[in-house]
Amino acid sequence: MMCNRSHSTQLYLDVPSTCLPIIYSPVYNITFMGLEKLHPFDSGKWGKVIHFLKEEKLISDGSIVEAREATEEDLLVVHTKRYLNRLKWSLVVATITEIPPLLFLPNFLVQRRVLRPLRTQTGGTIMAGKLAVDRGWAINVGGGFHHCSSDKGGGFCAYADITLAIKFLFERVEGISRATIIDLDAHQGNGHERDFLDDRRVFIMDVYNRYIYPGDGYAKRAIKRAIKRKVELDWGTEDDEYLQKVELHLEGALNEVRSDIIVYNAGTDVLDGDPLGGLAISPQGIVRRDEIVFRAARRRGIPILMVTSGGYQKKTARIIADSIINLRCQGLIGGDEDGEVPEECAGGVTLMMSSSDSSPSCVSPGPAPNTI
């Protein structure tokens, strides 16, 4: 049930029940004269994830939800006007995205080719929040800009999509008054930690490499005020230790407070060989990690919203897709409320169901470097 709206938004429209709560738009992908290649982040990975999911017949063009761009009014739910005005300077955007040549480009081009994709991913995360409450789960194939706070961007994060999704739910959806953020990206999620400092409605568990960006001492020192459960990892942490710590602290976090929504920041920069993450988790370890989180949410009946966040190797997109496919095979997403393994996954086969071409369309009508 919806609460009173503070402004009119196009991000909380009803979605046909035939659509999977997987949110994406081709606008997510950043391509601009090769400048995007100056950052180690694969700025086309989101489209590759969708391609792999289509190959496995988990989705079709008409079976997922098309993300809408967050408007300035939407962004002002969290961001200050001053911060949004600063993004009209190409130098500021070049600093946040760590792509120095952007400072030489007219801002209207930077807005169109860089910030619009990030605003659309941000809109996707906000949309996924409501869908998660409605359906029990939702996955935004993009998003997870956990270094951005209300008045400061950084690490390729220009908009605070996690904070926005939670604030939208608190303000607009009846019965949503407590949230838990499970941040398993290799980097500390200092943006949402600063935004929810001293906010007792939000419980944050953050598992990250203690030696890498951002090293936000203020958020770290504000233990129990910002990060309620902090798990700092060493260089080269491997599967066994990592998964043991994730499962132990996840159970502790979800038992410590009963939340109405889980926001899961599922960064894949924990992957062995990632140039920025510094950890040594296998692809199978990442798939298992995501299953642990979704299974814990399902067991407690808590809606879960997943965003994909960081990951700086070409194989990252394949791993994200494999993880989503595994969640489907385990009956943790895709409408199998009884949790049974779908027939098409029996024997380890990962061929997914596809929607009929005649199903209703879910496309919305239109109106090192520091990193995520």
- Selecting among 147, 187, 192, 249, the annotated active-site residue is 147
Check if the beta carbon of residue 315 is closer than 8 Å to that of residue 283.
yes
Q: Which residue has the tokens 């997510």?
A: 28
Rounded distance between C-alpha atoms, residue 156 and residue 169, angstroms: 25
Rounded distance between C-alpha atoms, residue 80 and residue 82, angstroms: 5
Cβ count within 10 A of residue 329: 23
Rounded distance between C-alpha atoms, residue 233 and residue 209, angstroms: 5
51 is catalytic: no
Half-sphere exposure in the Cβ direction for 372 (13 Å, CA) = 33
Check if the beta carbon of residue 82 is closer than 8 Å to that of residue 122.
no
Rounded distance between C-alpha atoms, residue 63 and residue 361, angstroms: 7
Single out the residue of 212, 188, 197 nearest to residue 163, CA to CA: 197
**Which active-site residues does the annotation give?**
147
